[in-house]
Amino acid sequence: MPDHDADAASPPAATVFDQQGLAPGRMVDQRTLVPPERDCSLEVYVYFDPDLARHSTLADDLRDFDMVPDLGRPFMRLMRFLAVMKEHDPGFAARIEAEPFPVEVVEVGEREEFFGCVLHRSPFVKVLLPPPA
């Protein structure tokens, strides 16, 4: 039986990861994960807690922290994280543009969500912020 979901024309998640050089254990500059540098269909989640990042799944975390506001979670989407940091530290934007900001890729995969009766697949990457210096 053919798969008739709305994302049939989207490239497989593995292709997206390969094209962007994303693999667990690899350190990448967060600037390469921000549009327009990356495919906008890729969901990037920044984790602040190493144990949670390494020992849970994104699906479990999204379910477990569903009722917790973004700022109370031990993770958030990259674009939200950057907006919060820029709001709280006006010099943050200039610093991350001027020098590399490495993050560790912890997990890559594909999330599946139903919107009505349509299955939507989204490639995702979990990254871990380095500990403060």
Confidence of residue 69 (pLDDT cuts 50, 70, 90): very high
Write phi, then psi, for 113 (nearest 5 degrees).
-135, 145
pTM over 0.75: yes
Confidence of residue 11 (pLDDT cuts 50, 70, 90): low
Write phi, then psi, for 46 (nearest 5 degrees).
-95, 125
Task: Determine the pLDDT at residue 42.
Answer: 82
User: Where would I find the H helices in the chain?
Assistant: 13-20, 50-55, 58-64, 78-88, 92-98
Task: Determine the pLDDT at residue 71.
Answer: 92
Farthest-apart Cα atoms in the chain, separation: 54
Q: What is the DSSP letter of 30?
A: G
**Contact yes or no for 59/111 (Cβ under 8 A):** yes
The answer to whether residue 14 scores a pLDDT higher than 70 is: no
The answer to whether residue 15 scores a pLDDT higher than 60 is: yes
| Percent helix, percent strand, percent coil in the chain, to nearest 5 | 35, 25, 40
- Three-class DSSP category at 113: strand
Read off the pLDDT of residues 81-123 as tens digits, 9 standing for 90 and up: 989 998 999 888 888 888 888 899 999 998 888 788 888 888 8
Rounded mean pLDDT, 64-88:
93
* Domain locations along the chain: 13-128
